[in-house]
Structure 1
């Protein structure tokens, strides 16, 4: 009989990077994640559910912006061609890379077949996994806004949450009960707004529970309930470190695939120009292995899929045995069954760590032998005894544990811009009549632009110093569109047909958006 359980929680998210330009960097972000992570993850769960003696169980958060990309018909039509281009590129590699190239081409072709068989209905496949009891699907804030930085205007937080709930219901036919808070970020009083949106539970970083008031009797190993009636689970670092850390965990194994060495850096400029690219950039095609974390990329050895497959089996067994040891020790000290919560970005599995989906498959395959029971957060709450009342501590899972990564000298300029725009939005939405039909339509689009400007991804990118120009351009684009719409509503400007068409074409998201969600709180 298993003592306690393990809850795997995967958060799948991309910012709204829809573009009308085939081959763009933003399109690559989405298609690479689709090819390397989302499709393999679904297949892993479907295969495990059909063949495992123990039904695989996991909790998966799907952000509304990712769902919008998955539903977009134009992107669905482009994806097969994008895959075929990469299959063709793998035919033209040096002889010493051909084994790795053939293996990768086979995987990509497999994704293409599965995509065509389901007609690109990834959302439907996720829904089926929830209906069969495999998944507990969570929502997220509408555009992954970093909620503690929006708290000056609680109506802005309300808009993020209620828009997300509407979108989840539109696509899945049921309201979500749980939410992945963006970056697991929490502040005092957020639970009250969560509850008003119908959201009853979320995951926090460990110190969000360990520093709760009062300190939970069972620490991280049982959920707590806030005084406003929302349950919170705490991330267990011992159960997550081996999986996400390249330095201290499995992804850094010498036989696993190297993330940073990409065929896109090796192809001649002439070949790249044939693909419509002006300069080298990652194409999602990697044929080298880690070899050694300390050596230069040009010294990496060729990837050997067979050797990596053997490591996956060993690492899955090692991980499960580690969790079994944890649970046995905890059971001896607790009066209830202990729970280990292991949350990750879903993109770790397949994108950052290529072998991640195969690792998950091995976990489900070996779980019974290692006496590990997987569970979903929803099931924990439905089976749990009374939860201890504790108010969580403000926290996040970002570097430093709080809000530093999204509020620092590089990106602090965004906060007053959000605040100014949110104030204008609240004032306009709180008016009794809200204007005529046209003004309400414009106000809905303004709400979309405000939400899109608030994505935490752009703040993160600016702090990380990667594609900072793109991130700043995205924020400024949506805020510029927001203020243009507000000026039209106020009668200060006329909206040109060109601008209206551009906005409606590029930012076609959240069809059920409700401007009443930004009405001023009493």
Structure 2
């Protein structure tokens, strides 16, 4: 078998804090759909590889705020209820749908829901951390962490940025026994000098988008004068799967994400065509979808091999391809995504490609010369416009004012639950998701409401602190009952 080079698949798992903040269509429903259709099947895939003795299969980013939700007792109970409801909805559809192909689909959904319930009951009973720790301890994956609530770091005051990162790393260490060596920088957002913060906190590697390296992503690169390495996402390969305009999930044979049977909530149609209205779409056919999965797995494997051969010709040694996606693409947005993932991760080694993690790529020698990175992100334009554009200027200005007010809060030498909750509400306000959703017009009203809710709660606690009002303690306790993410958070790490 030839040595074509190395391939790293990086999956970025993230949702903003959703428990107690609405249900349908955006809110907790979003969490439970991703849990059922992406997190459960992807982890099951990794379990299969672990049982086969595979190591360094992929690099899995899990943001601290998502990990907190997947461990949260309230969310665990509610997700279990959601899985049971999924099975009931499938049973209802089986009794309502008359076409044989749709009745078969309803039966398949019923079985899938039952399998998910069984896996949830047996493997996830105590939350995500034990599941994830088994994956990291066995070496099947490399884990990436990140700042606490997934803020867009370039827009944070330095003190807030460092605290958010430290809080996120500490939380991951609490759940898994040690902090990760690498992070997924939220939105791949970078500002010159941030590598110094990373090095100070023990972060050894992070992701940027390919254009930040002018497309030269064949190796990891030390950033500036630091020892921190950046890996660039290879867009030539990554966009083969998913891009702003195209990709495999749009194939006519795949299940259509946007077309619902509203009485049951199931998705009975295939894509059929880009401009076909929902009522004219054809019924979903798993056999046709399976053929498309095999075709696209072959195409992707061929694309990776061709890319690695071109890199070898250019640089005179085996190269590296890093493909990075949101985990939620696989199963939630793209129903067939997990099957495609497994097919690709089996086909690439057979084609002579070394499948590994970011850590494994470093060990294999895929490290180039130092580089000075520009300000960048993986958003539209590869700059900061999604999170710092005119459309969200009110959110940006409010976030800046909030940080200034936060840093002006007088410190105290003792643990103060009011200050802890004040910082917690500030971090939730500064989540990058809100600006992204507004700019992309994706549940923009929900995003603005969430930013306002947490901003108002911050302002309320700050006013109670200034007035030294006794009610601040009961109010902070009530807010923590709803938004108690990161229970070990200690405001003294910021307010010094």
| Residues 138-162 of structure 1: per-residue CA shift (max 9 Å, x gap) | 0122111011122xx2111112111
| 1:134 and 2:140 are equivalent in the alignment | yes
CA distance in 2 between counterparts of 1:206 and 1:366 reads 25
| 1:225 and 2:222 are equivalent in the alignment | yes
> 2:481: which partner in 1?
505
Matches within 5 A, 1:27-66: 27-51=28-52, 55=55, 57-66=57-66
> 1:276: which partner in 2?
none
Contact 2:26 2:443 in 1 (8 A): no
Instruction: Work out which of the residue numbers 91, 105, 113 in structure 1 matches 2:110.
Output: 105
Query: 1:454: Cα distance to partner?
Result: 0.4
| 1:448 and 2:452 are equivalent in the alignment | no
Deviates more, 1:509-518 or 1:183-192: 509-518
Instruction: Work out which of the residue numbers 169, 193, 199 in structure 1 matches 2:173.
Output: 169
> 2:327: which partner in 1?
346
Query: 1:516: Cα distance to partner?
Result: 4.0
| 1:95 and 2:72 are equivalent in the alignment | no
Flag as ranges the 4+ runs of structure 1 deviating above 4 A: 20-24
| Residues 217-268 of structure 1: per-residue CA shift (max 9 Å, x gap) | xx210111011221101111111112114853211111100010123xx32x
CA distance in 2 between counterparts of 1:498 and 1:435 reads 19
The runs of 5 or more residues in structure 2 that have no matched partner are none
Q: TM-score, normalised by structure 1?
A: 0.89
CA RMSD, 1 decimal: 2.1
CA distance in 1 between counterparts of 2:190 and 2:76 reads 35
Query: 1:417: Cα distance to partner?
Result: 1.6
Matches within 5 A, 1:200-215: 200-210=204-214
Contact 2:465 2:472 in 1 (8 A): no
CA distance in 1 between counterparts of 2:86 and 2:307 reads 43
CA distance in 2 between counterparts of 1:222 and 1:411 reads 35
Distance verdict in 2 for CA 1:498–1:435, change over 3 Å: closer
Matches within 5 A, 1:389-400: 389-400=370-381
CA distance in 1 between counterparts of 2:375 and 2:413 reads 41
| 1:76 and 2:82 are equivalent in the alignment | no
The runs of 5 or more residues in structure 1 that have no matched partner are 212-218, 272-282
Contact 1:56 1:134 in 2 (8 A): yes
Q: The residue matched to 1:332 in structure 2 has which SS?
A: helix
Q: The residue matched to 2:36 in structure 1 has which SS?
A: helix
> 1:216: which partner in 2?
none
Contact 2:55 2:138 in 1 (8 A): no
> 2:13: which partner in 1?
12
Query: 1:24: Cα distance to partner?
Result: 7.4
Distance verdict in 2 for CA 1:514–1:38, change over 3 Å: same
Contact 2:418 2:472 in 1 (8 A): no
| 1:356 and 2:337 are equivalent in the alignment | yes
Distance verdict in 2 for CA 1:119–1:204, change over 3 Å: closer
Q: TM-score, normalised by structure 2?
A: 0.93
